[in-house]
Structure 1
Amino acid sequence: MTADAIAHFAARLAFETDVSDVQAAIAAAAPGLVVVDARSAEAWEQGHIPGALHLPTREIAARAAEAVPASADVVTYCWGPGCNGATRAALEFARLGYRVREMLGGFEYWAREGFAVAGTLAQRDIDPLTAVAAGCGC
């Protein structure tokens, strides 16, 4: 049972990341990082992560090779935890042979934690239930 739990959680950490870790990677200019917003054009224009690449899931198979280097460390996101769009986008990248992770929490938690937002959506106040000023300690 312990070995199964270790394998399960190690696999999750290999294929999932969270908004705080993505923000830290962007701030550190992590080499090869490509953050992909898999949502519609309307959602993208409303708000997205600055520097992200807009590549809706339905376009990944056709456009990934021209838009994303094969050596990239791809992170996909969609709206939030109530949506599996980032999972579907990550699956498309994986099928194409990319190293890919899904960003848990999606754009919703990115904005709720008070990270920078591009687009027409006004920057929101930090949601005290999702972001702790001193960090969550994990």
Structure 2
Amino acid sequence: MSKLEDAIENAKEALPNITPTPPGLKAESSVHDLKSRLEWGEPALTILDVRSRDVYNHGHIMGAMEFPMDQLVELSQKNFEYKRDIYVYGATDEETTEAARMLRQAGFVNVAELKGGLEAWKAVGGSTEGIDETRAEPGANAYNVVTNVKNHFERQEIDFQKP
């Protein structure tokens, strides 16, 4: 850790925590962790979808970049700093774990496996885009911000209670 990072960390610990902060990057992250960071407006992260291009085109997390497994390391090395916060997801948790392992072996130090992938993201009302997503009708509460925030926090509490 640099002297600046140490100073910031010490200052955070010395001051009372008046405003809650979103969770930091974890090796295994829930969709709630990512959603919280995005809702706080933390732009210093990248979301990678390692599924096939066809599957990606049909639906993916809004803003996610399509980096197929066979090009994942090469594209990442060309496009990102090794300290970049990267959330990665695949078709299964196993594929997600493999993609994260590949990135870590290539030297990327801030890689999070997004558990549950796209389906878990949709379950918490995360924004999506793609061919199938534009055809889907919005749910009854799609534009009810109060209900969506309430549901998000209720699901987060359930997620934290799981062993």
Q: State the TM-score bracket (shorter-chain normalisation).
A: 0.7 to 0.9
Within 1, Cα distance between the matches of 2:41 and 2:82?
18
Paired residue for 2:13? none
Shift in alpha-carbon separation, 1:113–1:79, aligned structure 2, 3 A: farther
Q: Quote how far apart the aligned CAs of 1:23 are.
A: 1.3
Please state which structure has a larger fraction of its residues in helix.
2
Within 1, Cα distance between the matches of 2:39 and 2:99?
24
AA aligned opposite 1:117 = T
Q: Let me know the Cα RMSD of the aligned residues.
A: 2.1
Q: 1:34-113, aligned counterparts within 5 Å?
A: 34-80=46-92, 83-98=93-108, 99-113=110-124
Stretches of structure 1 lacking an aligned partner (at least 5 in a row): 1-12, 127-131
Aligned partner of 2:128 among 108, 117, 128: 117
Stretches of structure 2 lacking an aligned partner (at least 5 in a row): 1-24, 141-149
AA aligned opposite 2:127 = A
Paired residue for 2:41? 29
Within 2, Cα distance between the matches of 1:79 and 1:52?
14
Is contact 1:32-1:71 (8 Å) kept?
A: no
AA aligned opposite 2:154 = G
Is contact 1:49-1:118 (8 Å) kept?
A: yes
Within 1, Cα distance between the matches of 2:139 and 2:45?
27
Q: How many residues align?
A: 119
Larger Rg, first or second structure (1 or 2): 2
